[in-house]
């Protein structure tokens, strides 16, 4: 191992956890660096899915209030994709199936795994497993509101053409990382996805 954890302290333990590390790592010149201190925000790992109907070329996005975006120029109501925290003994595929029903009353069919990416490795260990999921938009009630009431979720469903979602992305209206990554992937791969999912 080219790094060495010298000390680990739990600074806060609540719904999330904050840990402080004192560590050192080997530098590119081969020498060991001096000890450094870093705090890491621990919230677990997550999975997210962009629901897409290849027949209608539409995507499903959800809108909800996010406290972390209260100071964002566009405000705290964000257009996002379906997502949830991966619980113990749960696969990312199970998470996106569960959360799609909970957040959008949406049944996910086939899944395409896109990326497993680090959200912000300078400050958190969180990873997101990202998917594109096939859905039948005729079964979706756009404008409906869902969510886990025990968690005070208030989530509005939006169904729109992929081109409209890309327009919102390009104007900055969509500014959530997982939604940006998934929509850009779908814009680049739309033709191959439709060939894969549409009958001959």
Summarised one tens digit per residue, pLDDT across range 3-22 is 999 999 999 998 889 999 99
- Coil vs helix vs strand at 92: helix
Q: 46-197: which CATH topology?
A: Nucleoside Triphosphate Pyrophosphohydrolase (3.90.79)
151 catalytic? Reply is yes
Q: For the chain, give the longest Cα–Cα distance.
A: 62
Write out the DSSP string of 153-180.
--EEEEEEEHHHHHHHHHTTS---HHHH
- Ranges of H-type helices in the chain: 92-104, 162-170, 177-197
Q: What residue ranges of the chain are covered by domains with CATH 3.90.79.10?
A: 46-197
Catalytic residue among 7, 102, 151, 153: 151
What pLDDT digit, counting tens, does each position of 122-158 carry?
A: 999 999 999 999 999 999 999 999 998 888 889 999 9
Tokens of 22: 């004192």
């Amino acid at each position: 191992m080219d790094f060495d954890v010298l000390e680990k302290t739990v600074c806060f333990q609540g719904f999330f956890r904050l840990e402080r590390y004192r560590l050192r790592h080997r530098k590119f010149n081969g020498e060991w660096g001096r000890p450094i201190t870093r705090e890491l925000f621990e919230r677990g790992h997550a999975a997210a899915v962009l629901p897409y109907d290849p027949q209608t070329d539409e995507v499903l996005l959800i809108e909800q209030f996010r406290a972390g975006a209260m100071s964002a120029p566009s405000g705290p109501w964000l257009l996002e994709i379906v997502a949830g925290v991966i619980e113990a003994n749960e696969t990312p595929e199970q998470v996106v199936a569960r959360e799609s029903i909970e957040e959008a009353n949406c049944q996910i069919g086939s899944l395409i795994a896109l990326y497993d990416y680090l959200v912000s490795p300078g400050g958190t260990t969180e990873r997101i497993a990202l998917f594109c999921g096939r859905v039948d938009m005729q079964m979706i009630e756009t404008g409906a509101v869902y969510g886990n009431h025990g968690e005070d979720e208030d989530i509005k469903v939006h169904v729109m053409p992929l081109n409209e979602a890309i327009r919102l992305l390009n104007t900055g209206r969509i500014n959530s990382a997982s939604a940006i990554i998934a929509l850009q992937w779908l814009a680049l791969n739309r033709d191959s996805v439709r060939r894969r999912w549409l009958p001959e």
